[in-house]
Chain A
Amino acid sequence: MKTLSELLTFWHEQAGKLGQQTLQHIALTAAALLLGVAVGVPLGLWLTRRPRWAPAVLGAAGVLQTVPSIALLGFLIPWLGIGATPAILALLLYSLLPIIRNTVAGIQAVPPAVVEAARGLGFTDGQLLRRVELPLALPVIMAGIRTATVINVGVATLAAYVAAGASASLSSAALRLIIQ
């Protein structure tokens, strides 16, 4: 009980910081996610046109996913220093696999008959993509982005260790309090 009241007091004292750091946490996650979509969706689309590359690219993204987040940040700090950049890059790398994989799966799930008919009617490749493949694959791609979001919100907490300023620094302070 004592710990709980101390924790509440701590939160109360830090209320201003808590709000600010929550915003930073969201901004960090959102930035990484936007980048993840900007890189992952085109990469996934490219893989549907060059299926030979799919195992290699998905494999690489899968390997990235298995690297523990603290270790990944550890690798990035000597290279990028500390701050928001390594944090965002780490989050971006974690968001890639679900986004690429779901983009590929979504496009491949479009019935071949629909694609053949659309081509036969005279859709260009671009029209086929924009008007047929993307709209039909959208629910699957969105599911991948959601998965990436969940992963990122969790991993962003660790960004504190690279001093990216997220609410993680507060969380770790609170954590220290509890461990004591």
Chain B
Amino acid sequence: MSTPSPAAPPVIRVSHLTKRYGAQVVVDDLSFDVAAAETLVLLGPSGCGKTTLLKMLNRLLEPDGGTVEINGQDVRRQRPEALRRGIGYVIQQVGLLPHYTVAQNIGVVPGLLGRPAAETAARTSALLERLHLPAARFAALLPAQLSGGQAQRVGLARALAADPPLILLDEPFGALDPLTRAAVRRDFRELDELRRKTVVLVTHDVQEAFELADRILLLHTGRLQQLGTPRELLLRPANDFVRRFFGPERLALQLRVTALAEVQPFLAPSTPAALHGLPTIAASASVHEALARLADAGAAGLRLADKPHQLTQGALLAAFGRVLADEAALS
């Protein structure tokens, strides 16, 4: 969620990690680092080994070769339970304990860590409020009484309850309908404390990967295809698989990786009168974000921060087309 500082030591260091099921190699000699406060998305088609890889980070699965170090310490030197209590974990099917209330579910890890109950209660209410589940209404409910979206919000709160510096998420939004998925994803993205946390998220949803990732690790048949920013993967694919993987959604992804600053040279200036009173958007925001905000607001337009440009859908798309044409001409 933020740019990692290159000087800080990696939170996760994976070296030559390998996992086999019988004769089949599901994770094949993977090595990579994850920096503090970085969001790394493990992306790839079904069966590419991304979930297996994630589960080896918190020792739910043991590798057949290679090492995982978290904060410089080999995970095999730590008791698995102690390791896992320090790492948030969210799965697609949520897995709330059905006989615990919402509040008890969220309080599980602080309880295991022996934190004071009063502190946990306060933290639980705060998290529920932030995830738009008012504690007064939801804290005493059982998981069976929640909708899918509400249950996964509780799942997120449960992973964050003990304030772990590292969070692993396995297709956290995969089981939700598109509208709910977008809403839960937005709330997840807007959680302030996530900006300080190191996040590893598994998904097969390319749009989701581009929306959330600082860097994407693209996997295919257990092998690393490319590791880089969404922009690098899209514009400088390392091989044919990477190119083909993004092919069908190329245009939509390009909207996500193109910043307003890039289209700005192709925007016509507007008069001060037209700009008056328009909500502003930062030049670092993507064209996709600007279009989404325009669609949401239904307003006359947005103003590019500190620039005399009124952004409308037509003007944005025309300028974006010019950027694409320029890129095509260059390559």
Whether the Cβ atoms of B97 and A114 lie closer than 8 Å is yes
Q: What are the residues of chain B within 8 A of A122 when measuring CB–CB?
A: 81-85, 109, 112
Q: Name A113's contact: one of B81, B91, B99, B168 (CB within 8 Å).
A: B91
Q: Which A residues from 94 to 144 make CB contacts under 8 A with B? A: 111, 113-124, 127, 131-132, 135-136
Whether the Cβ atoms of A121 and B94 lie closer than 8 Å is no
Q: What are the residues of chain A within 8 A of B81 when measuring CB–CB?
A: 122-124
Given known A-B contacts A113-B91, A116-B60, A121 and B84 have beta carbons under 8 A apart: yes
Q: Measured between alpha carbons, how far is A92 from B79 in the docked complex, in Å?
A: 40
Q: Measured between alpha carbons, how far is A41 from B95 in the docked complex, in Å?
A: 25
Output the residue of A111, A118, A122, A135 with the most chain B CB within 10 A.
A122
CB distance from A48 to the nearest CB of B (A): 18
Q: Measured between alpha carbons, how far is A131 from B97 in the docked complex, in Å?
A: 9
Interface string of B153-167 (1 = CB under 8 A from A): 001001000000000
Q: What are the residues of chain A within 8 A of B94 when measuring CB–CB?
A: 113, 117
Q: Name A123's contact: one of B83, B98, B112 (CB within 8 Å).
A: B112
Q: Name A116's contact: one of B82, B83, B91, B98 (CB within 8 Å).
A: B91
Whether the Cβ atoms of A119 and B84 lie closer than 8 Å is yes
Interface string of B134-162 (1 = CB under 8 A from A): 00000000000000000000010010000
Q: What are the residues of chain A within 8 A of B58 when measuring CB–CB?
A: 120
CB of B70 within 8 Å of the partner chain: no
CB distance from B48 to the nearest CB of A (A): 20
Q: Measured between alpha carbons, how far is A109 from B81 in the docked complex, in Å?
A: 24
Interface string of B88-118 (1 = CB under 8 A from A): 0101011111110000000011001000000
Q: What are the residues of chain B within 8 A of A136 when measuring CB–CB?
A: 98-99
Q: Measured between alpha carbons, how far is A131 from B109 in the docked complex, in Å?
A: 13
Whether the Cβ atoms of A114 and B112 lie closer than 8 Å is no
Q: What are the residues of chain B within 8 A of A131 when measuring CB–CB?
A: 97
Interface string of B37-61 (1 = CB under 8 A from A): 0000000000000000000001010
CB distance from A142 to the nearest CB of B (A): 15
Question: For chain A, which range describes its interface: under 10, 10 to 19, 20 to 34, or 35 or more residues?
Answer: 10 to 19
Q: What are the residues of chain B within 8 A of A114 when measuring CB–CB?
A: 95-98
Q: Measured between alpha carbons, how far is A120 from B80 in the docked complex, in Å?
A: 9
Q: Measured between alpha carbons, how far is A132 from B99 in the docked complex, in Å?
A: 8
Residue of A nearest to B92 (CB): A113
CB distance from A91 to the nearest CB of B (A): 33
Residue of A nearest to B85 (CB): A122
Q: What are the residues of chain B within 8 A of A135 when measuring CB–CB?
A: 99
Q: What are the residues of chain A within 8 A of B109 when measuring CB–CB?
A: 121-122
Residue of B nearest to A131 (CB): B97
Q: Name B97's contact: one of A119, A120, A124, A132 (CB within 8 Å).
A: A132
Known: A115-B95, A121-B85. 18 other contacts (CB 8 A): A111-B93, A111-B95, A113-B93, A113-B94, A114-B95, A116-B95, A117-B155, A118-B97, A119-B84, A120-B58, A120-B95, A121-B84, A122-B83, A122-B109, A127-B112, A131-B97, A135-B99, A136-B98
Residues of A within 8 A of B (CB): 111, 113-124, 127, 131-132, 135-136
Return 20 A-B CB contacts under 8 Å, by A number. Answer: A111-B98, A113-B93, A114-B95, A114-B98, A115-B95, A116-B91, A116-B95, A118-B95, A119-B84, A120-B60, A120-B84, A120-B91, A121-B108, A121-B112, A122-B85, A122-B109, A123-B112, A124-B81, A131-B97, A136-B98
